[in-house]
A = this chain, B = another copy of it.
Amino acid sequence: LTGPPRRLRADARRNRARLLAEADAAFREHGADAALEGIARRAGVAIGTLYGHFPNRHALVGALLRDRHDTLFAGGDELRTAADPGQALRTWVDAVVEHAATYGGLADLFAAGAADADSELHVDCARMAAIGAALLERARDAGAVRGDVRGEDVFVLMNAAAWARTALSAEQAGRLVGITLAGMAGPAGPGTPRPSWSDPG
């Protein structure tokens, strides 16, 4: 459903492979918002050929991540039987953040993909969130996480840390993950009173 058509003409098959290779290189160098025009040019095809294979950026990124996501999700499923549920959750979040660092700006695409059911990245985002929720539940049952922590909290943390990793630095993102997971384990912090001098909207 999401992979390449079963049988392609020889030239189409070759063009598709070249486009993916050039897109991967461009996304690694310039982030996931690299110019599609340049990708097509470097792949030696016209821009229309790129659109013929991938109707939009999400589809192109999705095709590139498919294999990586397969192994990522397989690893996530294995973690569901790990000895230490708390550590398993930590390992999962770290792996997703590390994965998201493949291309700069992936956090924005994941956020968009999670919100838009028609996005080619939507199923990937849903799976990412589901694995996080499952590992969270297990950690909660083991007493390694507070009862009021929701599955969405893990998804938000993964995405926010992924954003921080490219926007700020890898080390800082890792510290955010560590501190936040510690917060999921311990007691709740201070409340949220509105300051008189803040004027949103």
Contact = CB atoms under 8 A, between A and B. Distances in A.
A161 interface: yes
B174 A164 contact: no
A146 to B, nearest CB: 8
A175 interface: yes
Copies of this chain, whole number: 2
Contacts of A193: 87, 91
Contacts of A177: 192
B181 A153 contact: no
Given A75-B197, A108-B167, A164-B159, A182 B183 contact: yes
Given A108-B167, A160-B161, A164-B160, A181 B190 contact: yes
